[in-house]
């Protein structure tokens, strides 16, 4: 058939219609619908899909784009908090300080780049005035973390910074970036009470034999949480998965979608421990028709994908925890 108008018998109001003419109209419509459904797609043919409202509905491009944008925003926001976003560099590496005996001089603003950092909430601060020189006079030998306050004040602490999902054993002065949930939480303890911590670590300075022996600037755009402590595990394969620190699991793959409503059942690369939130059928792998596809989860470990016309291999994406 072509995409021209169908040839149907019309009827005059008040005039009895002949049964064979009515049946012929229905037959013509049936043939046209079947032929349209079986058409192969190409670069000139598209079909519109409404927003999915049930597990076995095809997903529109706008929904896929919105989901991708939301996930990307969360990943970027998570990775760039509690750290420096931009500042002075040397040979591509962060270089925020110089030192001499027991004095630390910041390379911030002035003849250097402004310092830009984000606290654990994601609030951005720009330091455009050079902070005062930091004296380490009177400090015992050891390793000290260098911090900056939102007002640009520098200071050091002989403490530990924990970046993990479970509460560590904290002593007075320790800082904990809690990555068990999104957004992150960050606290500092005095040994008895926790308080919100909005300052940012900039690096480490080591004092040996009464003088500074080394000073290291922390990498930019990395909050440095321990991927092992935070169970950030992954399998980056064709049918793979990644588990985020907050427990969310993203899975993807490509499998043969059988025609018809029964479809074909497959196992996820890894079972969801608690719940499967959604599965989204994607496009056809390689050349293929634009026939609508659907998918649903049959259990925490398996899913089903199906296709309206001939079987074909399709991409799919699933989210759970």
Q: 80: how many CB neighbours lie within 10 A of its CB?
A: 18
Task: Please give the full DSSP string across 274-307, using - where no structure is assigned.
Answer: S-EEEEEEEEESSS-----EEEEESSSSEEEEEE
Among 149, 183, 217, residue at a domain's last position: 217
My answer on whether 210 and 239 are in the same domain is no
Among 217, 250, 279, residue at a domain's last position: 217
Q: Which residue reads 């900056």 in tokens?
A: 148
My answer on whether 249 and 233 are in the same domain is yes
Q: 20: how many CB neighbours lie within 10 A of its CB?
A: 9
Residue 55 is assigned to a structural domain of this protein = no
Phi, psi of 63, deg, nearest 5 = -65, -40
Residue 152 is assigned to a structural domain of this protein = yes
Which two three-digit tokens encode residue 31? 């043939």
Which structural domain, as residue segments, surrounds residue 200?
81-217
Q: Greatest CA span in the chain, whole angstroms?
A: 110
My answer on whether 307 and 262 are in the same domain is yes
Report the domain count for the chain: 2
pLDDT (tens, 9 = 90+) of the chain, 321 residues, equals 334 557 777 777 777 777 787 778 778 877 777 776 666 555 555 556 666 677 666 666 777 777 766 766 665 555 568 899 899 999 888 999 999 999 999 999 999 999 999 999 888 999 999 999 999 999 999 999 999 999 999 999 999 999 888 899 999 999 999 887 767 899 999 999 999 999 999 999 999 999 999 999 998 887 765 434 344 678 888 899 988 866 788 999 999 888 876 788 999 999 998 889 999 888 777 655 556 788 899 999 999 998 877 788 888 999 998
Do 65 and 72 contact (CB within 8 A), yes or no?
A: no
Could you tell me the end-to-end alpha-carbon distance of the chain, in angstroms, rounded to an integer? 48
Which two three-digit tokens encode residue 283? 């496009």
């Amino acid at each position: 058939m072509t995409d021209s108008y169908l040839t149907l018998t019309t009827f005059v109001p008040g005039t009895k219609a002949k049964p064979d003419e009515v049946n012929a109209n229905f037959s013509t419509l049936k043939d046209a619908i079947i032929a349209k459904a079986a058409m192969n797609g190409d670069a000139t043919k598209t079909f519109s899909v409404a927003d999915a409202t049930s597990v076995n509905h095809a997903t529109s491009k706008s929904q896929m784009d919105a989901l991708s944008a939301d996930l990307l925003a969360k990943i970027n926001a998570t990775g760039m908090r509690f750290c420096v976003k931009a500042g002075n560099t040397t040979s591509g590496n962060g270089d925020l300080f110089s030192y001499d005996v027991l004095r630390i001089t910041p390379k911030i603003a002035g003849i250097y780049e402004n310092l830009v950092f984000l606290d654990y909430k994601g609030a951005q601060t720009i330091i455009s005035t050079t902070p005062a020189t930091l004296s380490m006079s009177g400090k015992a030998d050891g390793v000290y973390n260098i911090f900056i306050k939102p007002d640009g004040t520098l200071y050091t602490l002989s403490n530990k910074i924990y970046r993990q999902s479970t509460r560590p054993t904290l002593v007075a002065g320790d800082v904990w970036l809690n990555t068990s949930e999104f957004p992150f939480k960050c606290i500092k303890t005095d040994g008895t009470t926790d308080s919100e911590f909005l300052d940012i670590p900039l690096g480490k300075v080591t004092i040996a034999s009464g003088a500074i022996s080394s000073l290291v600037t922390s990498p930019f755009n990395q909050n440095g949480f321990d991927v092992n402590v935070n169970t950030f595990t992954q399998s980056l394969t064709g049918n793979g998965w990644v588990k985020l620190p907050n427990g969310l699991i993203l899975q993807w793959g490509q499998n043969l979608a059988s025609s018809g409503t029964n479809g074909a059942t497959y196992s996820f690369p890894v079972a969801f421990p608690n719940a499967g939130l959604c599965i989204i059928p994607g496009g056809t792998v390689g050349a293929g028709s634009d026939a609508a596809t659907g998918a649903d989860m049959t259990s925490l470990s398996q899913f089903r994908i199906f296709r309206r016309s001939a079987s074909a291999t399709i991409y799919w994406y699933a989210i759970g925890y």
